[in-house]
Amino acid sequence: MKVSQHSVFAESSGYPLSSILFSSSFPVRRERNREKIRQRVEAFINEIGVENVVSVSEHASTLGPFSVVVWWYREVPEGETLVIRASAESEPA
């Protein structure tokens, strides 16, 4: 049986307004950080197999963090119990 999952790759935080307004190197630094995230996503996709990927979407805002979401399928062995946890739980699934 196949189940769909998603993985989120994101910057740790947004950028302070002062760095956006007063730093001439801000656009270069922002694009460098985004490219690092894209490279992590590409490595992840290569690891799981591109044939298992459903979609990839980038989310970029002016002040907020940049993120990429990958939706993908994985094969679940017969007899394995699927557990769905609430997102607030601290225990990994």
Per-residue pLDDT in tens (0 to 9) along the chain, 93 residues: 788 889 999 987 666 555 555 666 777 888 888 999 999 999 999 999 999 999 999 998 776 788 999 999 988 777 776 666 665 555 554
Domain count along the chain: 1
Residue 86 lies in a domain: no
Q: Is residue 66 part of a domain?
A: yes
- Whether 92 maps to a domain, the answer reads no
The range of the structural domain enclosing residue 58 comes to 2-75
- As given in the structure block, the two tokens for residue 8 are 């989120």
What letter would DSSP give residue 80?
Answer: P
Q: Is 18 helix (H, G, I), strand (E, B) or coil?
A: helix
Element (H, E) at 41: helix 26-48
Asked whether residue 46 is assigned to any structural domain, the reply reads yes
∠ CA 6-70-64 to the nearest 5 degrees?
A: 100
pLDDT of the residue at 77 = 79
Asked, for residue 93, whether it belongs to a domain, the answer is: no
Task: Please tell me what DSSP assigns to residue 52.
Answer: G
Residue 29 CA to its chain's centroid (Å): 19
* Residue 81 lies inside a defined structural domain of this protein: no
Task: Classify residue 84: in a domain, yes or no.
Answer: no
